[in-house]
Amino acid sequence: MTLHGAPGKAAPGAFTPSADGARWSFAGALTMDTAASALEASQALRWPSSGVVDFAGLAQVDSAALAVMIELKRRGEAEGRALSLSGVPATLASLAVVYGVETLLHAA
């Protein structure tokens, strides 16, 4: 589902760390077509020091975005780090409820 602008394919998204390394931001599409590459690229990034990953820049999502969030939670747990998701669009939060993983959105 497209969140902003005209329907169609949004640009593939990526995680970008803030200059101080405290948080990551995601911008672009996080769908079945882009999730694997976005997740793979995130493995090269140092975990954000605050544990915050901001998804306010999501342009297009599907259930694959939830899979990415679940994998980020697993990585954080494996590294003994907190995860806090911010800027999660209402449409994605609704999908989380449907799939029974809404607690992920409130994980700390």
Residue 42, helix vs strand vs coil: helix
Which pLDDT band holds residue 107 (cuts at 50, 70, 90)?
low
Q: Is residue 54 part of a domain?
A: yes
Give the chain's domain count.
1
What mean pLDDT do residues 16-29 have? 95
Q: Which amino acid is at 104?
A: L
The residue whose two tokens read 């995860």 is 83
* pLDDT, position 106: 75
Residue pair 47/18 in contact (Cβ under 8 Å)? The answer is no
Domain range for 86 is 14-106
Residue pair 51/84 in contact (Cβ under 8 Å)? The answer is yes
pLDDT digits (tens, 9 = 90+) for 36-85: 999 999 999 999 999 999 999 999 999 999 999 999 999 999 999 999 99
Two tokens at 82? 């907190």
Query: Which stretches does DSSP call E strand in the chain?
Result: 14-17, 23-30, 52-61, 84-86
Q: Is residue 34 part of a domain?
A: yes
Q: Is residue 8 part of a domain?
A: no
pLDDT at residue 11 above 90?
no
What CATH number is given to the structural domain containing 30?
3.30.750.24
Q: Could you tell me the sign of the dihedral formed by the alpha carbons of 34, 105, 58, 54, in that order?
A: negative
Q: Is residue 6 part of a domain?
A: no
Q: Is residue 80 part of a domain?
A: yes
